[in-house]
Amino acid sequence: MEKNDSIKKKPRNKFIPLLALAVVMLWLKTYYIQKTQFKLDVEGSLQEFLLFINPLGSAILILSISLLFKKKRKYYALLAIYFAASFMTYANAVYYRFFSDFITLPTLFQTQNFGDLGGSVLTLIQPTDFLFFADVLLIGVIVFSKRFEKSTHTFKKRAVVPVMTAALAISFFNLALAEGDRSDLLTRGFDRTYIVKYLGLYNYAVYDAVETVKSSSQRVLADSDSVTEILNYTKSNYASPNEQYFGAAEGMNVIYLHLESIQTFLMDYELNGEEVTPFLNSLTRDPETLYFDRFYHQTAQGKTSDAEFMLENSLFGLPKGSAFITKGQNTYQAAPAILKDKGYTSAVFHGNNATFWNRSEIYKAFGYDYFFDIDSYKADSPNDMAEYGVMDKPFLEQSEVLLESLPEPFYTKFITVTHHFPYKIAPELTTIDKATTGDASVDNYFQTARYADEAIEQFFTYLEESGLADNTMVVMYGDHYGISDNHNRAMSELLGKEITPVENTKLQRVPLFIHAPGLKGGVDHTYGAQIDLLPTVLHLLGEDTQKYVQFGTDLLSPEHEELVVLRNGEIASPEVYSIGDVFYDPETGEPIDDSKLELAEKLKEIGNYELELSDQVVNGDLLRFYTPTGFEEVDPSDYNYQIKPPLPVYEAETDAPVTAK
């Protein structure tokens, strides 16, 4: 009897059931919103499962913070947290309706986004939106209702630990499964959509906050003095233009074709006696095409985005992650902005989501006028879609009319995707057999390469027929390897030679073609790399580069130093390769003899110094302290990629545009 009495006297704790109810409601609501309000491209049961469980760990974690509040305050804390989480989710849903993207902290503070949203925010809100808050109302009613007896019990801090530990355990389990499906998810970033799909909106918000703080702290520590050392270096490294080529493409349009995963070993390679890339091969012998056969990619984790970053800025990508993702708010002096002064209109064409690699943000910082993403393309059949967007043939074909909507001269970039790992292609689209090494990645590599080659040929034919070819310079580069060194056994079988360390480095070569009417072409054996593209292209367009902070040099300049610095600090040059801790002779593939050691060490030191200085520029956002004379600084808020130029109108008979451009 006495015992029972004492139980009755204990404060009745109704908080835990309320907390549990809140967790379940927030979890299920967030899941429902993630599933219905965003385009997350969830594929397969594992991804479905992850989408379902990913709000759970966070819901427990954030709502259980209320347990730390004393007495009745925990009820109000619970309501406040619940409301904040709901508001954040709702804000993302509204933002997504307009931008097809998730809110990031830096963009939140960009006035332009509110400018864009400002007038239209009311049109984005739908009458049914109150449902987003129906559950908040329910919790509010329970919390404030007099009929509901609130417990005055204060939980010991210790008691909260197991709850939070359980929440973290669920989140880590979630992360482990996600990493299994998509490795390097957090280190490389890829796309905000991926983070939300795999880890949920709340974890995405944490990820975004951590990245923002990391990035801005590096930025805060930098000061304007640091620019001096950089400028001293880039000025001393400058290579003056080759008179024969300077201005050879002056006033011409520029078309960059970003060749996904195309490697130099493919050029003139025959699989079972058949050329894999006959069109590109023919260009290596074209009198108006310069073909560089010792040109290297320098990408790291940022892959495609690293390649783009280098060619637009002549700055190295970062050793970890992607500068596109973490440095999207920096100040740049990129090609589109440099060429604006010469009257160029700039645009990117890419049949994938605009947010992939944070392109829709960083392109603004580069000064790109237009960005045609997947929304500008259609896929008529499933065969028109590759894993990362529209297949190259329909992509390039549909790009033609978009290209013609631009005023000339234009500076453009077309990013292909079909020849992307794992090189999937419908059998009816293939025109060459697979290889037969037994290593699937290697075997499939050739069919999509052939397809890409055909797509490029088709595009060249269009350029000829439309007349654009008469006034356009086309630059084509492989972005990075497609076959990593995990596949060297199969590669050795296909190439008929042992893949020594030097051969392995040589496999990091990607082709570079520069084609323009009247250009003196030929095969150029100069050692060079992606970092050198910008000064090379600018000099061909007749633009001097001396005043810019660029780490590459003009490949055509007699002063160009033949030193390739790979992103991991290894080097390749006609004299020496450094791989791991060993220096090799490029000809024999053997370690060098002592007579070359001093030179080798010096080259490696220069390489590492360059990487270090470039990283300082990117991490410290140093270009904000230096504006070259005559260069107009980019204001990203001037750009809005929802706006497209008007399409040309064609006369039915002649197919020629009738509207003035």
Catalytic residues: 304
Work out whether 303 is an interface residue with ligand GP9 (CB under 6 A): yes
User: Using CB atoms within 10 A of its CB, is residue 221 exposed (0-12), middle (13-18) or buried (19+)?
Assistant: exposed
- What is the smallest separation between the CB atom of 509 and ligand GP9, expressed in angstroms? 17
413 contributes a contact to ligand GP9 by CB under 6 A: no
3 state SS of 491: helix
Q: Is 135 left (phi over 0), alpha (psi -120 to 50) or beta?
A: alpha
Comparing CB distances to ligand GP9, the nearer of 356 and 370 is 356
50 binds ligand GP9 (CB under 6 A): no
Q: Which two tokens stand for residue 627?
A: 């504006």
d(CA 638, CA 436): 52
**Looking at 116-124, 178-186, 198-206, 412-420, which segment touches ligand GP9 (CB under 6 A)?**
412-420
- Supply the minimum distance, in Å, between the C-beta of residue 62 and ligand GP9: 32
- Does 415 interact with ligand GP9 (rule: CB under 6 A)? yes
Select from 326, 352, 405, 448 the one that contacts ligand GP9 (CB under 6 A). Answer: 352
Region binding ligand GP9 by CB under 6 A among candidate stretches 45-53, 214-222, 415-423, 631-639:
415-423
Nearer to ligand GP9, 304 or 578 (CB): 304
DSSP per residue, 251-280: T-EEEEEEETT--GGGTT-EETTEES-HHH
Nearest CB to ligand GP9, comparing residues 367 and 478:
478
**Residue 392 partner contact from Mn ion, ligand GP9, none using kind-dependent CB cut-offs of 5 to 8 Å:** none
Specify whether the CB–CB gap between 620 and 219 falls below 8 A: yes
Structure tokens at 56: 């759970």
Q: Does an H or E element contain 185, and which?
A: helix 185-188
| Residue 356, contacted partner among Mn ion, ligand GP9, none, CB below 5-8 A by kind | ligand GP9
| Closer CB to ligand GP9, 256 or 577, in the complex | 256
Nearer Cβ to Mn ion (419/515):
419
Q: Does 576 bind ligand GP9 (CB under 6 A)?
A: no
Nearer to ligand GP9 (CB atom), residue 292 or residue 388: 388
* 3-class state of residue 127 by DSSP: helix
> Of the two residues 455 and 502, which places its CB atom closer to ligand GP9 in the complex?
455
Which residue ranges make up the site for Mn ion (CB under 5 A)?
Answer: 260, 303-304, 479
Smallest distance, Å, CB 470 to ligand GP9? 30
Contact 549, 617 (CB under 8 A): yes
In the complex with Mn ion, which residue's Cβ is closer, 258 or 294? 258
Looking at 279, 296, 316, 388, which residue binds ligand GP9 (CB under 6 A)? 388
Return phi, psi of residue 583, to 5°: -100, 135
| Residue 260: CB minimum distance to Mn ion, A | 5
Q: Does 332 bind ligand GP9 (CB under 6 A)?
A: no
Q: C-beta of 303: minimal distance to Mn ion in Å?
A: 5
Q: Tell me which residue has its CB nearest to ligand GP9.
A: 303
Main-chain phi, psi angles of 522, to 5 degrees: 140, 170
Instruction: Output the six-digit token pair for 186.
Output: 């957090």
* Shortest Å distance, C-beta 356 to ligand GP9: 4
**Closest alpha carbon to 101 in 109, 111, 112, 113:** 113
Among 242, 304, 345, 346, binds ligand GP9 (CB under 6 A): 304
The answer to whether 53 touches 170, Cβ cutoff 8 Å, is yes
Residue 391 binds to ligand GP9 (criterion: CB under 6 A): no
Omega before residue 646 within 30° of 0, cis: no
CB of residue 394 to ligand GP9, shortest distance in Å: 16
Residue 365 CB, nearest approach to Mn ion (Å): 21
211 interacts with, out of ligand GP9, Mn ion, none, CB within 5 to 8 A per kind? none
Angle between helix axes 488-495 and 440-466 (nearest 10 degrees) is 60
388 binds, among ligand GP9, Mn ion, none (CB under 5 to 8 A by kind): ligand GP9
Which CB sits closer to ligand GP9, 197 or 420?
420
Q: Residue 629 phi/psi, 5° resolution?
A: -60, 135
Q: Is residue 183 helix, strand or coil? A: coil
Question: If binding is defined by CB under 6 A, does position 297 make contact with ligand GP9?
Answer: no
The reply to whether 377 sits near ligand GP9 by the rule CB under 6 A is: no
Q: Minimum distance between the CB of residue 184 and ligand GP9, rounded to whole angstroms?
A: 11
**Whether the Cβ atoms of residue 283 and residue 262 lie closer than 8 Å to each other:** no
Which residue's C-beta sits nearest to Mn ion? 304
Enter the DSSP assignment of 298.
Answer: -
Please report where in the chains the tokens 């990493």 appear, as a residue. 179
Per DSSP, the three-state class of 128 is helix
Tokens 């902290």 belong to residue: 105
Q: 298 and 565 in contact (C-beta within 8 Å)? A: yes
Residue 632 CB neighbours (<10 A): 12
User: Which one of Mn ion, ligand GP9, none is in contact with 386 (Cβ closer than 5 to 8 A by kind)?
Assistant: none
Distance CA 585, CA 503 (A): 11
Q: Which of 243, 322, 270, 247 is nearest to 558 (CA)?
A: 243
Residues that bind ligand GP9 (CB under 6 A): 303-304, 352, 356, 388, 415, 417, 420
